[in-house]
Amino acid sequence: MAKSFSLWWAGDEISISRVSGSGARKHIAMYGGDLQPSSAKAEPFPFCIECKKQQRWSLNNLLLGLPGEPLFGFLGQCIEAARQAENNIPLLVCAANRQPPLVFFDTMTIHSYVPDFLKRFRAVFRFRIAHNQLPEGIRTKYHLTHLDQTLVPLQAFLTAFSRQDFQTEFVRRKRLQYPRRASKRS
């Protein structure tokens, strides 16, 4: 996964890497998620990417709102990690054996960066789960009001978007969030 994102974002295979101890860490550093820049060439990096490869998740169970569906926890974990870190675009990448990886992303967040993003895909799966349909444990643990997600194959995501789609706006937002202090002149 890191290699695919590194090629897409930085043009090489090594500028984005898997976080050591990913999945076992208690502290969220500057970059949340399982992947982070490992060289200056990959910065700024606006994504919080959680990677999950398991057999037990199911889109059907997610849409039925079954409380035991792991996708709820995966999405909540990704959204929470993005809130706490400096990268603010949560991406959940899920894969199962012999299946291509899929990317879940918050529809409105991506729309705020790339307003025409839906035109870039042949097909997307978009879903919204209201507050009262979210499992209570997930709703309270991650302070979710709803889920408004778009789902596409990873390869379609990497083909449809480029670094330029996100970088300029991300840098602009960070400057607004952390303005430089005016220097005092003597």
Tell me how far apart the alpha carbons of residues 174 and 86 are, in angstroms, rounded to a whole number: 9
Mean per-residue pLDDT for 171-178?
76
**Each residue of 78-132: pLDDT tens digit?**
999 998 887 679 999 999 888 899 999 999 999 999 999 999 999 999 999 998 8
pLDDT at site 176: 76
What is the H or E stretch that residue 153 is in?
A: strand 147-153
User: Considering only CA atoms, which of 16, 11, 97, 10 is closest in space to residue 49?
Assistant: 16
Mean pLDDT of the chain: 87
In the predicted structure, residue 15 carries a pLDDT above the cut 90: yes
Range of weakest confidence among 95-109, 113-127, 144-158, 167-181: 167-181
Tell me how far apart the alpha carbons of residues 89 and 82 are, in angstroms, rounded to a whole number: 6
Rg (CA), the chain: 17
